[in-house]
Structure 1
Amino acid sequence: MMERHKHLLVPLAQGIVFKRLMSYAKPHWKWLVIAFILLVGGTSAELLGPILIKIFIDDFLTPRIFEFQPLLILGIGYIVLHLTAAAMNYTQLLLFQKIALKIIQQLRIDIFAKVEKLGLSFFDQFPTGGLVSRITNDTEQVKELYVSVMAIFVQNIVFLIGVFVAMFYLNVQLALFCLVILPFIFIIMQLYRRFSSKYYAEMSEKLSQLNARINESIQGMKIVQIFRQERRMNKEFQKINQEHHEAWFKSIKLDGLLLRPAVDFISIMALVLVLSYFGIMSLNSPIEIGVLYAFVNYLDRFFEPVNQMMQRLSVFQQAMISAGRVFRLMDHDEIGPEKRGEGKHLISRGEIEFKNVTFSYDGKQDVLKNINFSVKEGETIALVGHTGSGKSSIINLLMRFYHIENGEIFIDGIPINQYDNQELRSKLGLVLQDPFVYVGDIKHNIRLYDHTINDEQVINAAKFVHAHPFIERLPKGYDTILGERGSTFSSGQRQLLSFARTMAKQPKILILDEATANVDTETETIIQQALEKMRRGRTTIAIAHRLSTIKDADQILVLHQGEIVERGTHLELLNEKGLYHKMYLLQQGAEKLEEISIE
């Protein structure tokens, strides 16, 4: 990961993370209040049970008084309390879980919306798998915090308070003795949080690396197999997986030491304290068996929620680490360029001007140096040059994918930073060398969720770019489902679909990024016919790989190491005998060699 993104690995303070997580609960405060009231009611009903049993033992069983009516009332009261506690606890748990799921739903929407606003400079350098891990795995861990931790913690804390209230009701002195165990439990929790946070942070990071490696391997599986890199990729995957396993195992050992065993030891000591107290008291005066039963029962009930909380403390720690990673991403300020200034400007003619534009991706090495050119309405300008000369960078800046630090770009005489994204992106049509096709039917891929484009317009766009004939031959026509990235279609068919997608929006400016680079000769003829129709009446900027395809361009810019070194028409540049002339001769020679080899 690049230096400027390393802060995304730095964990946030848990207090800050917890406060932000709780802020997501504010819209649901009414239902939370209802759930809390039910929780207190259910807990109170549950805690009254041992007191009724204490009354039965001390007031009826020990003195052998068995009056039917009082015993019946006591028995019915105990059953009603039990049923009331069950109903209230079920309802409050259901409410807490429903609220938790709504909170996670909103959190996922927020983080995905944030990712969509990030500039392309972020995606250039942040691993895709790591990003997916934060949106899916980390939010899933946060969901566990709300679903299985927060509700349990709230319920058990209320229950513990109720236990101590009941203990003080039975015996104040012994209840005060039992308070001594609370600091020990608190110390165990703090020790666990301190050591486990490091292990869980390492686990989350290794899981992100695993996802990144899986994503990279699957996306590039053809390269992996053709270059026989399976063994190397497998070893690298095993190494990261082993590191993830080791971090996980450290956390398991910590869980085994500080969770259940430590709490069990404290519970045994507390039980010894209570029994010793009653034993000493029995030497001087008689003790009430009902009080002894109730105290032992409450002590057992006290450690049951403590054990539940301790066991979920590991989930809590994982969730806090994951939430910190999510919030780090949400706080990232590498936002894509947006509109500046007031007023609403519209693109009507499509005239373009680059004025003294210098640009760098990393802030160190300039990939464009003092670029100046203009394109009039309806003209076609072609960009040519060797790989890395800056052609795609010009397109990226025109599409406003990156911030411009030096120089300005104008459309219709207005700086592009004064157009809002909706106007800019709707009037600029981009066709890439490797078109992206989504899972779904053909109509969906051409329309792209724009429901203002009806089926007739979809078909007309396909006819316009000569995609209609091959679509009609498909078994289900425009309703044919495409696989991931359109893998069942040829590169030429995918390109024609991207043409139709662009023309369905009727852009004023057409941007072609080596649109014919990956297609065969026969398909190229069809595509060239489509391109010729698409360019009519539109300002066009074309990155050209094959120079023979741009002979009719109004102007050709030759780029070399980020600078425009030549400009003119096809014939003018050939007559100059410069870099363009050399490139043209090399391609002509290659084409002649291909013709000879075919013959």
Structure 2
Amino acid sequence: MKAKAFDTRLFKRILQYTKPYQWRFNGVIIYAISLSVFAALRPYLLKRTVDDYIQTEDAQGLLFYISLMGIVLLLEVFSQFYFVYWANWLGQDIVKDIRIKLFKHILSFRMKYFDLVPVGQLVTRSVSDIESIARIFSQGLFMIISDLMKMVVVLIFMFYMNWKLTWIVIVAMPILVFITRIFQRKMQVAFEEVRTQIANMNTFVQERVTGMKIVQLFNREEIESQKFKNINEKHQNAWIKTILYNSIFFPIADIISSLTLGFIVLYGGIKILNGDNFTTFGDLFSYTMFIGMLFNPLRQIADKFNEMQLGMIAANRVFEIIDTQDQIQDTGTVEAPIFDGNIQFKEVRFSYIDNEEVIKGIDLTVKAGETIAIVGSTGAGKSTIINLLNRFYEIKSGTICIDNEDIENYTLSSLRKQIAIVLQDVFLFADTIYNNITLNNPEITREKVYAAAKEIGVHNFIMSLPDNYDFDVKERGVMLSSGQRQLIAFLRAYVSNPSILILDEATSSIDTYSEELIQRATETITKGRTSIVIAHRLATIVNADKIVVMDKGLIVEEGTHQELIIKESGYYKNLYDSQFSLAQ
């Protein structure tokens, strides 16, 4: 949905977020009114000072009015301070609420959404776009209200002082309004392009920084640099358009303002010199201030409207995500207990892309406490099985049951609490080892972490690191080797005390020393609980209670290692023999 120059429906939706802060919203309006009155009062007091006290040489009256102008100026400054402070404060509170709502909503999306939407785009929406929404209130809406009020009050004072002279100003205003309207329309299109190019740039940079090892490994520096140069040029060109429109509009607005002021001074001065009572010196003095206070806000309203347009465009993009309903349907009412661990897949079908099935009607039974291994070639559907068990994706048809209860009947959080996964590509946050193990779960104490680490044999490894459990692993755990990251992942799974454990290629890329530790960890954490091991290295799963062989979304063989290895021309035997021959 493309943002309009001013989308009333969208604007009303944004205003809904001001309701918790209604008293501050009202306060900003009150200060805007006070500011406009005090600002317009100063030129009027100047007129009275010139006409009634300077020309009559009344020193006492002059001192009184100068003092009065000083008081009005202080009140204007006071109103200006609270107006700006409260407007910005309100804007920050609103974006805080929207950002929390947005991030919470993103956390509920199913994995398919993240497969399709670039991470850089989500970062742009969550950070820079939301900050632009704050500017609707700090630089847009309230500033426009203040400027409009100031213009109205100024016109009232001008008509009261000299309505004939004021009509000269009124004649010039439609020209400026017409030019301002054209400027606003051009800027809306330009700002839409700016936001698009910012999102594209953020996405590109995020992906290349994350994949920097690949860029350098394949000597892609020059190619990626050229791509970035092209994206940056598009971003620059989008901004240059806005600069061009500003460069045209503001000089024209200044010329109209200056010509109007010059004509009033010339016309009024001639009338005074001719002895006409058409105007006074006080009027001319005050009108030099009034015209600036009338035309400058009108000119600035265009600039403030630009800020609102940026905010509205950003809000439109943010609300598109908030309005996206791409969550796993958490309609279950049963709180998952500590599972026995009986798992059943019944005629389960699934596809990532419509009409391209990845899982083709499989039936699979896992008994409580049993360790099964799932093997097969790349793309056979092994990892998809665990994604479906955790309800990261919705199945197309069939049922998946745990302890004879359809997993869709369990609440999502309670289901996932009973299942722990150790992935091949371990993700660690830029935090301490302890926080990466507990994931800030207050129910997991340090004593529990220490005891678990000793049980699976990783305590000594952690204690050998600087700061031990408080060692900062940096972004994505770059301070640790792949084997060390795997050990942390095993401990993270173990301390959560799951009913069902899943190991997804967890021993595929580790050194010999880490493999020995992981082998011990695996034996410890799988003992007494249902475990599913997805393995590429078949030597690691020969002792599994059952081995399930998959090919092209189907289960083609089941049995123990001894049962499958004797099947001539069997899928498992061929896989095992090919790995054994490669090892030789």
TM-score with structure 2 setting the length: 0.95
Q: CA deviation at 1:125?
A: 1.4
- Within the candidate set 283, 308, 313, 1:321 is matched to 313
The CA distance in 2 between the partners of 1:442 and 1:343, in whole Å, is 34
Q: CA deviation at 1:14?
A: 3.0
- Within the candidate set 363, 366, 371, 1:375 is matched to 366
SS at match of 1:567: strand
- Aligned counterpart, 1:297: 289
The CA distance in 2 between the partners of 1:320 and 1:181, in whole Å, is 30
- Aligned counterpart, 1:214: 205
Q: Which moved more, 1:45-54 or 1:509-518?
A: 45-54
- Aligned counterpart, 2:451: 460
SS at match of 1:373: strand
- Within the candidate set 61, 84, 106, 2:75 is matched to 84
8 Å CA contact 2:332–2:412 kept in 1: the answer is: no
- Within the candidate set 234, 244, 248, 2:235 is matched to 244
- Aligned counterpart, 1:597: none
**Does residue 21 of structure 1 match 2:14?**
yes
8 Å CA contact 2:508–2:537 kept in 1: the answer is: yes
The change in CA–CA distance for 1:176 and 1:413 in structure 2 (over 3 A counts) is farther
Q: Which moved more, 1:520-529 or 1:386-395?
A: 520-529
- Aligned counterpart, 2:413: 422
8 Å CA contact 1:156–1:309 kept in 2: the answer is: yes
- Aligned counterpart, 2:298: 306
The CA distance in 2 between the partners of 1:11 and 1:365, in whole Å, is 36
- Aligned counterpart, 2:540: 549
**Does residue 413 of structure 1 match 2:389?**
no
8 Å CA contact 2:373–2:533 kept in 1: the answer is: yes
The change in CA–CA distance for 1:534 and 1:143 in structure 2 (over 3 A counts) is same
Q: CA deviation at 1:131?
A: 1.4
- Aligned counterpart, 1:595: none
The CA distance in 2 between the partners of 1:576 and 1:182, in whole Å, is 92
8 Å CA contact 2:84–2:138 kept in 1: the answer is: no
Query: How far does the alpha carbon of each residue in 1:460-512 deviate from its partner, in whole angstroms, 9 at most, with x for none?
Result: 12122211111121232212221211112111111111111111110000011
Q: CA deviation at 1:539?
A: 0.7
- Within the candidate set 110, 113, 117, 1:126 is matched to 117
The CA distance in 1 between the partners of 2:64 and 2:90, in whole Å, is 38
**Does residue 267 of structure 1 match 2:257?**
yes
- Within the candidate set 380, 400, 414, 1:389 is matched to 380
- Within the candidate set 20, 31, 49, 1:56 is matched to 49
- Within the candidate set 350, 355, 368, 1:364 is matched to 355
- Opposite residue 251 of structure 2, the aligned amino acid is P
Query: How far does the alpha carbon of each residue in 1:148-173 deviate from its partner, in whole angstroms, 9 at most, with x for none?
Result: 33332232222111111111211234
Q: Which moved more, 1:383-392 or 1:148-157?
A: 148-157
Query: How far does the alpha carbon of each residue in 1:499-533 deviate from its partner, in whole angstroms, 9 at most, with x for none?
Result: 11111110000011011011123321221121111
The CA distance in 2 between the partners of 1:265 and 1:408, in whole Å, is 74
- Aligned counterpart, 2:580: 588
8 Å CA contact 1:202–1:247 kept in 2: the answer is: yes
Q: Which moved more, 1:147-156 or 1:566-575?
A: 147-156
Q: Which moved more, 1:123-132 or 1:313-322?
A: 313-322
- Aligned counterpart, 2:40: 47
8 Å CA contact 2:335–2:414 kept in 1: the answer is: no
8 Å CA contact 2:360–2:553 kept in 1: the answer is: yes
Q: CA deviation at 1:65?
A: 4.2
Q: CA deviation at 1:17?
A: 2.9
Q: CA deviation at 1:379?
A: 0.8
The change in CA–CA distance for 1:90 and 1:280 in structure 2 (over 3 A counts) is same
Q: CA deviation at 1:297?
A: 2.0
- Aligned counterpart, 2:106: 115
- Opposite residue 576 of structure 2, the aligned amino acid is Y
Q: Which moved more, 1:362-371 or 1:341-350?
A: 341-350
8 Å CA contact 2:35–2:146 kept in 1: the answer is: no
Query: How far does the alpha carbon of each residue in 1:166-193 deviate from its partner, in whole angstroms, 9 at most, with x for none?
Result: 1121123443453344443333333223
Query: How far does the alpha carbon of each residue in 1:391-420 deviate from its partner, in whole angstroms, 9 at most, with x for none?
Result: 111111111101122111111111111111
- Opposite residue 35 of structure 1, the aligned amino acid is V
Q: CA deviation at 1:567?
A: 1.5
The CA distance in 1 between the partners of 2:267 and 2:466, in whole Å, is 85
Alignment map for 1:96-115 (pairs within 5 Å): 96-115=87-106
The CA distance in 1 between the partners of 2:553 and 2:356, in whole Å, is 10
- Opposite residue 307 of structure 1, the aligned amino acid is R
The CA distance in 1 between the partners of 2:334 and 2:462, in whole Å, is 43
The CA distance in 1 between the partners of 2:59 and 2:246, in whole Å, is 52
Q: How many equivalent residue pairs? A: 580
The CA distance in 1 between the partners of 2:42 and 2:9, in whole Å, is 40
Q: CA deviation at 1:231?
A: 0.9
- Within the candidate set 13, 20, 30, 2:23 is matched to 30
Q: CA deviation at 1:288?
A: 1.6
- Aligned counterpart, 2:522: 531
The CA distance in 2 between the partners of 1:81 and 1:309, in whole Å, is 25
Q: CA deviation at 1:121?
A: 0.5
SS at match of 2:380: coil
8 Å CA contact 1:14–1:324 kept in 2: the answer is: no
Q: CA deviation at 1:281?
A: 5.2
8 Å CA contact 1:467–1:493 kept in 2: the answer is: no
SS at match of 1:559: strand
The change in CA–CA distance for 1:219 and 1:317 in structure 2 (over 3 A counts) is same
SS at match of 2:414: helix
Q: CA deviation at 1:458?
A: 0.9
8 Å CA contact 1:351–1:412 kept in 2: the answer is: yes
Overall identity of the aligned pairs, in %: 35
Q: CA deviation at 1:273?
A: 5.2
The CA distance in 1 between the partners of 2:355 and 2:179, in whole Å, is 50
Q: Structure 1, unaligned stretches of length 5 or more? A: 1-6, 593-599
- Within the candidate set 49, 73, 85, 1:94 is matched to 85
- Opposite residue 271 of structure 1, the aligned amino acid is L
The CA distance in 1 between the partners of 2:413 and 2:128, in whole Å, is 32
The change in CA–CA distance for 1:488 and 1:145 in structure 2 (over 3 A counts) is same
8 Å CA contact 2:54–2:62 kept in 1: the answer is: no
- Aligned counterpart, 2:392: 401
The change in CA–CA distance for 1:157 and 1:173 in structure 2 (over 3 A counts) is same
**Does residue 74 of structure 1 match 2:65?**
yes
- Within the candidate set 491, 516, 527, 2:482 is matched to 491
8 Å CA contact 2:88–2:134 kept in 1: the answer is: no
Q: CA deviation at 1:280?
A: 7.3
8 Å CA contact 1:383–1:558 kept in 2: the answer is: yes
Q: CA deviation at 1:212?
A: 1.5
- Opposite residue 353 of structure 2, the aligned amino acid is D
- Aligned counterpart, 1:480: 471
- Aligned counterpart, 1:198: 189
8 Å CA contact 2:333–2:411 kept in 1: the answer is: no
Query: How far does the alpha carbon of each residue in 1:27-54 deviate from its partner, in whole angstroms, 9 at most, with x for none?
Result: 1111122232223223212221111121
**Does residue 354 of structure 1 match 2:345?**
yes
- Aligned counterpart, 1:333: 325
Q: CA deviation at 1:442?
A: 1.5
- Aligned counterpart, 1:166: 157
The CA distance in 2 between the partners of 1:33 and 1:136, in whole Å, is 28
The CA distance in 2 between the partners of 1:24 and 1:58, in whole Å, is 50
**RMSD of the TM alignment (CA)?**
2.0
The CA distance in 2 between the partners of 1:284 and 1:358, in whole Å, is 97
Q: Which moved more, 1:305-314 or 1:294-303?
A: 305-314
- Aligned counterpart, 1:147: 138
The change in CA–CA distance for 1:393 and 1:189 in structure 2 (over 3 A counts) is farther
